[in-house]
Amino acid sequence: MSVAERARSPDEAIRLGLEPDVAWYKAQQIHPPIARLCTPTQLADSARIAEWLGLDPTRFGGNNSGENGDGINDDLLGDTGQLPEDANIDVDIKFKDFDSSKFSNILWKCGKCKVATNLISAIRNASCLKCGEQKIETVHIRNLIGLVIRDLQNQAFLGWAKCNSEDCNAITRQVTVEGAGDHCFQESCTGRLKPLHFTSKDLHQHLIFLMELAKKYRPEAVDIVQEAVDANAYDTINLVDLFSALTIRGV
Ligand SMILES: [Zn+2]
Ligand SMILES: [Zn+2]
């Protein structure tokens, strides 16, 4: 029976004593927005969210080429609720337009021809692009990744911000609690503080790029990136903290 045929007005449902189709509401109304909210985190994919909701996770996991991209299935009659999964997209396609210039000051230098290669190419290639004779060892790549991560962390943790008011242009590392925490600290200035350069969100995106690259080309170096992602904790939702304001009566 189609959704239209099964649907009843609230009055009619009460009169006939009908029960709501809980599974349908979970799959159609609850799962898609939660999955969209959780997209920036790496922790909750749509299958896992389905599992938390008590739905069959196998129906929410894989790629579904018929999706319209926003997680809402046009076909409400069939097998519903599958979300687009980007976990399987190749890193070279997914990060095609990623600005990797932050990695460009870390170089791998060939011991044979002395030509330097930037870190991203060095991760991708097994041997020197110029002479083809020198193997690019993963142990060396690990060291370079360690260096670039430290460099990026330093940039992100400096925390400099600049007032966006043209009359003010104050530069500060002071954090204010007014408004959204971005009000300029200068009295009588109505400007907003904008992060200068590199934020912890930028750091997170760079680390994720690096991690996916490592997964494809240098699996033995993934752990070092994973460590930095965990330390940054940008994508972590602490549910205990989040719901700490809520108490359940009688517990
Ligand atoms: Zn070379
Ligand atoms: Zn200002």
- DSSP, residue by residue, 14-50: HHHTPPP-HHHHIIIIIHHHHHHHHTTSSS--HHHHH
Reply yes or no on whether the pLDDT at 246 is more than 80: no
The predicted model scores a pTM of 0.57
Ligand 2 midpoint to CA 204 (Å): 28
For residue range 159-213, what is the model confidence (pLDDT) as tens digits? 788 898 888 888 888 776 666 677 888 888 888 888 887 887 888 889 999 999 9
Radius of gyration of the chain (CA): 25
Question: What is the pLDDT, as a whole number, of residue 26?
Answer: 87
**Helix 222-232 × helix 138-158 angle, to 10°:** 10
Cα–Cα distance measured from residue 251 to residue 243, given in angstroms and rounded to the nearest whole number: 15
Ligand 2 midpoint to CA 187 (Å): 8
Ligand 2 midpoint to CA 11 (Å): 57
Ligand 2 midpoint to CA 199 (Å): 20
Reply yes or no on whether the pLDDT at 81 is more than 50: no
Ligand 1 midpoint to CA 207 (Å): 27
Reply yes or no on whether the pLDDT at 42 is more than 60: no
Which ligand places an atom closest to the C-alpha of 116? 1
Which ligand places an atom closest to the C-alpha of 127? 1
Mean pLDDT to the nearest integer, 130-154:
94
Cα–Cα distance measured from residue 133 to residue 113, given in angstroms and rounded to the nearest whole number: 9
Name the β-bridge partners of 194: 162
Average pLDDT, the chain: 80
Ligand 2 midpoint to CA 71 (Å): 41
Ligand 1 midpoint to CA 125 (Å): 12
Cα–Cα distance measured from residue 86 to residue 38, given in angstroms and rounded to the nearest whole number: 13
Query: For the chain, where do the domains classified as CATH 1.10.132.60 start and end?
Result: 1-88
The fold of 1-88 is Topoisomerase I; Chain A, domain 4 (1.10.132)
Question: What is the pLDDT, as a whole number, of residue 220?
Answer: 95
67-71, 174-178, 210-214, 229-233: segment of lowest average pLDDT: 67-71
Question: What is the pLDDT, as a whole number, of residue 94?
Answer: 85
The model's confidence at residue 4, banded by pLDDT at 50, 70 and 90, is confident
Question: What is the pLDDT, as a whole number, of residue 70?
Answer: 39
Which ligand places an atom closest to the C-alpha of 110? 1
